Amino acid sequence: MIFQSVSSIALAFALALTTFNVAHAQLAAVGPTITVVGQQPPPPIVEMKRNHTPGQVWIPGFWNWNGKAFIWQAGHFDHERRGQIYVPTTWQSVGNGWAMVPGHWVAQ
């Protein structure tokens, strides 16, 4: 009887660890999430892209949360990274709030 209980606990632990590892891997692939805030961010501001030189990519602006209010972070050009594309910052609805997923580079 003790062996069965220990086996059940070990199985439950292994399943929990596997679930944690999968969730952690998914989060790591996306990048860190900033604090969840209770209000939806404003609509994005349309920005005029200036002329750029070859080898640059546009990083769009986004609403950032400073702990009290949303503040617009203007877009800018950055050096392109060979074999990678830029995924812009997004806000995602989660439960009773909104979570910011920071922009990041990913392999093509």
Return the structure tokens found at 67: 């702990």
Return the structure tokens found at 85: 């594309």
pTM: 0.66
Three-state SS for 63?
strand
pLDDT tens track for 41-98: 999 999 988 777 899 999 999 999 999 999 999 999 999 999 999 999 999 999 989 9
Return the structure tokens found at 26: 């998914």
